[in-house]
Amino acid sequence: MTTLDGVRRPRKLTAGVPRPARATPRAGSRASRSAAAADREITALSYYLVAGAALLLLAIGVVMVLSASTIESIRDNDGNPYAEFVGQAKFVLIGLPLGIAASRVPVEWYRRLAWPAFIGALGLQMLIFSPLARGQGGNVNWIYLPGVGQTVQPSEFLKLALALWLGLVLARKGRLLADWRHVLLPGIVGAGAAVGLVMAGHDMGTVLVIVALVAGAYFVAGLPLRWFGVAGVLGAGATAFLVALSPSRVNRVMSFLGASEADPSGVGFQTRHGLWGLGTGGVSGIGLGASREKWSYLPEAQNDFIFAILGEELGLFGTLVVLGLFAVLALGMFRVVRRHRDPFAQITTAAIATWILAQALVNIGVVIGLLPVIGVPLPLVSAGGSAMISSLMAIGVVLAFARTEPGAARALASRKGVVRRSLAVVGGRRRG
């Protein structure tokens, strides 16, 4: 190339000349350690999402049970305002260790336990036909444990056993689910037995949750979508038939259809007072412990309608926090389904996720008037022994699967190493 002064200078070459490599963090440097730590956090994100959301919901539930149950506890326990709360705290203290233990069980053990657990849960549910059976509100879905002085709701544990069993049998089916015979045997037959036993106790709320659980398992297992359309039509017809057989169910549906005109002291009083509680709370609530509806205006304030008390005392903000935590829980479980390589873990997680989230949606839908009063607790929040223990165990099962996602076990193990090293440094400084 010739310049204006006539001097010939070499052309600058760019093509083909290797550029200097971009600087990369040196092994062991602060940048490389930060990048590796971030990678580990993302790998184990499912575990942290599920565990964190569940623990926060549990904490909110304990506080709200204490607030919502005091008036009823004074009335039913010789003036003791904390009796209901203490009872619920005991169930939490039982369920938490069981959930932690469940999170440490190897996946292979769950495969081996699936059949025995399901058969045992069916046998436990059959005890509602024995002299041990106890009823409440028209439902005979509890059994009394002699010597312990405690009732147990076996259908709550049947949900978890059914989720594990469906995960096992459907994972083995694979593409065979295109054949109707493999759809029915043994999955639908076993699920039908579970539904039939619960329905015999007149617990329609639990029946609907179990049906949702089964649908979630089959969906992730790869059942053709046309089957869901057929099942939806048959299910709607069966539901209408069962409602028509029970005058109390007919009254609930009719009060739901005319809830805005329902007599506040009549059949639709629960829905009416639940909406009043939510409306009274406004944006920020009237204050923790200040609910008016819990003063015997709203039955089952600490159970089926605890979401109304939460909205009254903590307002729209509190309800959105709870909804957000359920969304985080759903995201964590969805990640397990998407990332895990084991079909058994995928299907079982999907069944548990559908159970917990469908039950939460039904409970909240009842409180806000979108569904007739069915009578299912808000998972991890409402008072209830069997429901709390089974839900915590189910969360533990999902955490066990999350620990075996690709790269998750190594990430969690390295996290423990960081914690141990940090504690050692802190201890060394104190000694110094």
> What's the whole-number average pLDDT of the chain?
85
**The pLDDT of residue 1:** 52
Look at residue 244 in the predicted model and tell me its pLDDT.
Answer: 75
Complete DSSP assignment for 129-192:
GSTTEEEETTEEEEEEETTTTEEE-HHHHHHHHHHHHHHHHHHHHGGGGGSHHHHIIIIIHHHH
Report the alpha-carbon distance of residue 329 to residue 49 in Å, rounded. Answer: 6
Distance CA 414, CA 418 (A): 6
Q: Average pLDDT of 37-59?
A: 84
Q: What's the confidence (pLDDT) of residue 239?
A: 77
More confident residue, 363 or 7: 363
Q: Could you give the maximum distance between any two Cα atoms of the chain, in Å?
A: 113
CA distances from 52 to 184, 296, 386 (A): 37, 34, 22
pLDDT tens-digit readout, 152-196: 999 999 999 999 999 999 999 988 998 999 999 999 999 999 999
pLDDT of residue 257: 66
Domain boundaries, the chain: 41-404
Question: Shortest CA distance to 262 belongs to which of 372, 365, 139?
Answer: 372
Question: Would you state the pLDDT for residue 91?
Answer: 97
Quote the pLDDT of residue 269: 75
Q: Is the pLDDT of residue 145 over 70?
A: yes
Q: How many Cβ atoms are within 10 Å of 239's Cβ, its own excluded?
A: 15
Please state, in angstroms and rounded to a whole number, the distance separating the CA atoms of residues 416 and 413.
Answer: 5
CA distance 326 to 53: 7
Number of Cβ within a 10 Å radius of residue 80? 13
User: 326 versus 16: which is more confidently predicted?
Assistant: 326
The region that residue 41 occupies, defined by phi over 0 for left and psi between -120 and 50 for alpha, beta otherwise, is: alpha
Confidence class for position 431, pLDDT limits 50, 70, 90: low
On the 0-12 / 13-18 / 19+ scale of CB atoms within 10 A, 261 is exposed
Distance CA 209, CA 159 (A): 9
Looking at the predicted structure, is the pLDDT value of residue 103 above 80? Answer: yes
Please tell me the distance from the alpha carbon of residue 51 to that of residue 333, in angstroms, as a whole number. 10
pLDDT reported for residue 417: 52
Residue 261 confidence (pLDDT): 55
Count of Cβ atoms closer than 10 Å to residue 49 Cβ: 20
The confidence score (pLDDT) of residue 7 equals 47
The confidence band for 54, taking pLDDT boundaries of 50, 70 and 90, is very high
User: Exposed, middle or buried, 406 (CB in 10 Å: 0-12/13-18/19+)?
Assistant: exposed
